[in-house]
């Protein structure tokens, strides 16, 4: 058994890196912020004049290895608040002074020394001497980070590092990082002409024709699923009077993420979510228990203000669309509905090629609406539903929505990275705030429960995650270009290619003819670079036998098919628009 936990090794290596930085830059005051461990290593936020480069990171690594060889003792010291403030103030460590002042009265204050010259505020634990640290770390890159996440505070330099307990684990992780760079959705989106970003609309993507085909393909997929699971699609406004957001509670709990405007001397807001609109729609009609569950689905655009420091490609944007739905249901129908939802979610995720799935139950946050009694009831209902589903899950304390607990579903991509996609949220609050009622089987008025659910989540974010998962090679049914037809050389070949293209387009397939005056080699390479599922070649032999030379993306050899067999093959692949488990 290892002497130290991996988290201890990582935390100690973060201190090691901080010491190396301070030794390499003795002529300036290097102010240390925080250096927590993260999933694959650690980071440290540092305030210093020198802008760190890749060459600096290499120098820091070498200095870290040198400090390891020194075998410096690592010693814990407990001090009073006044002693700690004096110690760190004398060294110009103003960020640490701020952290010390925020430590609650009565809590133990400790710091660690490494040798005679370095010390850092920390609760520990740490290794006993620097020679016990491994060399299995790698400084990855730097990034800007506002002190304590506050954009009104100074921008620090954050150094990210990978750290593992074995050479093999580090090598595997670094290989994964290199593969992730190749799969970066921002890089692939540009190369495949799917979307662009422009400063005129910060953090708001423009989808090009090919990207729009993928986007609409996902919407069409959800609409096909909705028919199977009995959803009704609705359309709602994007700009609504703030009175609606006061009623829902979003104005008080979420307004810092909302956009506002004045119209006719009234204050309005762009909607950040669809749920208040659906509550309003339910309230305008009289429903009975026979109408429930009532499932409203909505693909309306949403707008949320995200700080510039957290937006990232498609995975964190300011305008997006969700495959959003709200289910109005009786309390005793919750478990059966969630059972159906879990089936719908798992079938869909596996259809998209996500094999590893994790489920989390997120409970009440500090900032919330509603009584503890109602939250107890809601959390118990979700837990019972998850227990009945037979699926393994973990509890994520305090991460629920402000109006109710939720089930969050994470999927692992091809590189083993987990991303949250689906969410199922149980809401007793909004039906109460909007005074929603239906007539139960006794003829009495009863309050419904609302289930908020999204399967893919934000379509923008899903495209970013999925693009990296498949490395840009979409499945046939979703690919913006499903095939390119290449005539070998003469007019006869071109004419045959155009006839085949017309036939395939009439059958709903997305194909084009590459009739450019370029070599076969160039056209073939570009078809592969474009990650087009199929390349069809037509020459003398194919025209004579009414066949097609078919080459799949990623394969070297071609297969000759009759045109009838080709159409049958493509039709079978296109049937994947609906998962096999849900076909009639």
Is 275 known to be catalytic?
A: yes
Query: Is 122 annotated in the active site?
Result: no
As a whole number of angstroms, the distance between CA 184 and CA 64 comes to 30
Active site residue 15: no
Q: Cβ–Cβ contacts within 10 Å for residue 92, how many?
A: 13
CB distance 155 to 146 below 8 Å: yes
CB 346 within 8 A of CB 358: no
Q: Which of 304, 461, 493, 523 is catalytic?
A: 304
Which residue has tokens 């609302």?
Answer: 450
Q: Is 406 a catalytic residue?
A: yes
Can 126 be counted among the known catalytic residues?
no
In the beta sheet, which residues pair with residue 155? 146
Catalytic, out of 351, 406, 453, 531: 406
Return the sign of the alpha-carbon dihedral for residues 190, 195, 200, 201: negative
Cα–Cα distance measured from residue 476 to residue 196, given in angstroms and rounded to the nearest whole number: 23
Instruction: Report which secondary-structure segment, H or E, holds 574.
Output: helix 563-574
Distance between CA 575 and CA 555 in Å, rounded? 22
Active site residue 322: yes
Cβ distance 426 to 405 under 8 Å? yes
Catalytic residue among 295, 318, 326, 453: 326
Where residue 92 falls (left for φ over 0; alpha for ψ -120 to 50; beta otherwise) is left
Q: Which of 452, 461, 469, 523 is catalytic?
A: 452
Strands 155-163 and 137-146: antiparallel
Structure tokens at 512: 């084009």
Rounded CA separation 383/367 (Å): 21
Question: What is the chain's Cα-based Rg?
Answer: 29
Is residue 240 within a helix (H) or strand (E), and if so which, with residue range?
strand 239-241
Catalytic, 321? Answer: no
Structural element, H or E, at residue 513:
strand 511-513
DSSP 312: B
Catalytic (active-site) positions? 275, 304, 322, 324, 326, 406, 452
């Amino acid at each position: 058994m290892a002497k130290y936990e991996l988290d201890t090794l990582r935390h100690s290596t973060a201190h090691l890196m901080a010491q190396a930085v301070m030794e390499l830059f003795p002529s300036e005051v290097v102010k240390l912020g925080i250096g927590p461990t993260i999933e694959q290593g650690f980071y440290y936020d540092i305030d210093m004049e020198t802008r760190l480069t890749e060459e600096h990171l290499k120098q820091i690594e070498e200095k870290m290895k040198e400090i390891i060889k020194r075998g410096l003792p690592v010693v814990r010291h407990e001090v009073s608040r006044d002693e700690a403030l004096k110690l760190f103030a004398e060294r110009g460590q103003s960020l640490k002074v701020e952290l010390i002042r925020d430590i609650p009265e009565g809590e133990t204050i400790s710091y660690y020394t490494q040798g005679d010259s370095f010390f850092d505020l920390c609760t520990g634990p740490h290794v006993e001497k620097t020679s016990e640290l491994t060399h299995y770390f790698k400084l990855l890159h730097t990034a800007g980070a506002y002190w304590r996440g506050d954009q009104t505070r100074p921008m620090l330099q954050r150094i990210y590092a990978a750290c593992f307990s074995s050479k093999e684990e580090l090598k595997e992780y670094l290989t994964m990082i290199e593969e992730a760079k190749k799969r970066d959705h921002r890089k692939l989106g540009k190369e495949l002409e799917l979307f662009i970003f422009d400063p005129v609309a910060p953090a708001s993507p423009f989808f090009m024709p090919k990207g729009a085909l993928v986007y609409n393909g996902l919407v069409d997929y959800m609409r096909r699923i909705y028919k199977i699971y009995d959803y009704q699609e609705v359309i709602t406004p994007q700009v609504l009077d703030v009175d609606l957001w006061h009623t829902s509670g979003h104005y008080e709990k979420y307004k810092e993420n909302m956009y506002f405007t004045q119209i006719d001397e009234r204050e309005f807001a762009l909607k950040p979510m669809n749920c208040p609109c659906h509550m309003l729609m339910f309230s305008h009609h009289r429903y009975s228990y026979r109408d429930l569950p009532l499932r409203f689905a909505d693909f309306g655009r949403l707008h949320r203000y995200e700080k510039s420091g957290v937006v990232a490609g498609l995975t964190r944007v300011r305008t997006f669309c969700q495959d959003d739905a709200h289910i109005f249901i009786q309390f005793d129908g919750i478990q059966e509905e969630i059972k159906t939802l879990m089936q719908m979610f798992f079938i869909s995720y596996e259809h998209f090629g996500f094999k590893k799935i994790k489920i989390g139950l997120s409970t009440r946050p500090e900032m919330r609406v509603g009584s503890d009694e109602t939250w107890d009831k809601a959390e118990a209902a979700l837990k019972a539903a998850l227990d009945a589903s037979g699926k393994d899950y973990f509890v994520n304390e305090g991460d629920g929505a402000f109006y109710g607990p939720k089930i969050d579903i994470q999927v692992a991509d091809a590189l083993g990275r987990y991303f949250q996609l689906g969410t199922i949220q149980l809401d007793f609050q909004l039906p109460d705030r909007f005074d929603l009622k239906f007539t139960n089987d006794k003829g009495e008025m009863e309050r419904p429960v609302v289930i908020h659910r999204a399967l893919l989540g934000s379509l923008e974010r899903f495209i970013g995650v999925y693009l990296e998962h498949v490395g840009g090679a979409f499945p046939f049914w979703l690919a913006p270009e499903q095939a390119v037809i290449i005539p070998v050389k003469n007019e006869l070949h071109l004419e045959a290619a155009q006839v085949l293209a017309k036939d395939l387009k009439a059958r709903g397939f997305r194909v084009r003819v590459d009739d450019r005056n370029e070599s076969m080699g160039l056209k073939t390479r570009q078809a592969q670079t474009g990650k087009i599922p199929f390349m069809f070649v037509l020459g003398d032999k194919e025209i004579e036998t009414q066949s097609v030379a078919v080459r799949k993306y990623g394969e070297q050899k071609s297969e000759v098919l009759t045109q009838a067999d080709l159409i049958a093959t493509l039709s079978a692949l296109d049937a994947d628009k609906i998962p096999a488990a849900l076909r009639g």
